[in-house]
Amino acid sequence: MMIKVIISGFKGRMGSTAVDMVNNDPELELAALIDPYTTEKEVDGIPVFNDKADVLGVAADVWVDFTIPDVAYANTKFAIEHNICPVVGTTGFTEAQISELIDLSQSKKIGGLIAPNFAIGAILVMEFAQKAAQYFPDVEIIELHHDKKKDAPSGTAVKTAELIKETRTYKKQGAADEVETLPGARGAEFDGMRIHSVRLPGLVAHQEVIFGANGEGLTLRHDSYDRVSFMGGVNLGIKKVVNLDTLVYGLEHLL
Ligand code: NAP
């Protein structure tokens, strides 16, 4: 049976790449496309809507969301409430929003996925970082993205820090009497470690996790050079969520 997919944010960088991915998979079928400002009514026979409420008459199994942090929570909630499984790549969710959406999905018995990163290499960096943090409590995360990215730090950096926190012995890093002569110079603080966000044209999505210890260092780095790197994970998410009865946070739960 074909899985019918709605793509919200279909005109964006990630959304348009997801449209191509769905069109190239014979097991998937586009059901509707959403963009708030477009005047198009259809694209290649697929209905286009400006508002999420307009898709209610459309038969759909999965809601793929690559929009903006401001609307992604409401979109995900809307999808679950209407028995459509969300596969969400949009970043910027708070911990409270994620746990609220997980609770809602469980009460409705609807599968779903919120993944701050759909690239397999990025998932592996997070896993390796969590292991390394057992031995190296001194760590800084540097995430690097294109300069159109709206939120900072990246969802991947936050998720990496959360995973590290589970294995790392708490430590407030840096000198006790450290002073920032320019505010923000030491980056954002998360559980005593630091996260730095770089924004430059030409970049796509990159992350380094740097560990330091006496006389040695360990650097883990992942690079997404092209948005196509995320599509294997989105495809896998679409195919798995339809058989789940809860929303999960992180692609690693489906691998
Ligand atoms: P983008 O190119 O700016 O695309 C976002 C699209 O959403 C834009 O076309 C925007 O339209 C549209 N939009 C705004 N409000 C909307 C609404 N209410 N309903 C539907 N569409 C709406 O950004 P992007 O680079 O594709 O990234 C999208 C999101 O994915 C970001 O949060 C980014 O951090 C995340 N991301 C995740 C992964 C991952 O692996 N999980 C990878 C890369 C990026 P306008 O431009 O007209 O406002």
Q: What is the pLDDT of residues 142-172, one digit of tens each?
A: 999 999 999 999 999 999 999 999 999 999 9
Its pTM stands at 0.89
Cα–ligand 1 centroid distance for 9 (angstroms)? 6
**Interval 230-246: pLDDT, tens:** 999 999 999 999 999 99
Write down all domains in the chain, each with its CATH number in brackets: 3-114+228-254 (3.40.50.720), 120-224 (3.30.360.10)
CB of 35 within 6 A of ligand 1: the answer is: yes
145 catalytic residue (yes or no): yes
Cα–ligand 1 centroid distance for 150 (angstroms)? 9
pLDDT band at 1 (very low <50, low <70, confident <90, very high): confident
Strand order in the sheet with 28-34: 42-43, 46-49, 28-34, 3-8, 62-65, 85-88, 112-114, 247-249
In the set 145, 206, 222, 240, the catalytic residue is 145
Burial of 176: CB neighbours in 10 Å, binned 0-12, 13-18, 19+: exposed
Residue nearest to atom 1 of ligand 1 (CA): 12
Residue 179 has pLDDT above 90, yes or no: yes
Cα–ligand 1 centroid distance for 230 (angstroms)? 14
146 in a known ligand binding site: yes
CB of 9 within 6 A of ligand 1: the answer is: yes
